[in-house]
Amino acid sequence: MSVAESRELDVYAHLYAALGDPTRLAILVLLRQRDQCVCHLMEALDLRQSLVSHHVGVLRRAGLVVSYPHPNDRRWLYYRLDRAAVAALAQQIGWLQDVVGYDPIPQPCPADALQGRAE
CATH number for the domain including 75? 1.10.10.10
**What string of H, E and C letters represents the secondary structure of 25-38?**
HHHHHHHHHCCEEH
Number of domains in the chain: 1
Strands (DSSP E) along 1-109, which ranges? 36-37, 65-69, 77-81
Is 101 a domain residue? no
Is 25 a domain residue? yes
Is 62 a domain residue? yes
pLDDT tens, N- to C-terminus, the chain (119 residues): 676 667 777 777 888 889 999 999 999 999 999 999 999 999 999 999 999 999 999 999 999 999 999 888 888 899 999 999 999 888 888 877 877 888 888 888 887 776 655 55
Domain that holds residue 68: 3-95
Is 79 a domain residue? yes
Q: What is the pTM of this model?
A: 0.76
Give the residue from 18, 3, 12, 1 showing the smallest Cα distance to 95.
Answer: 12
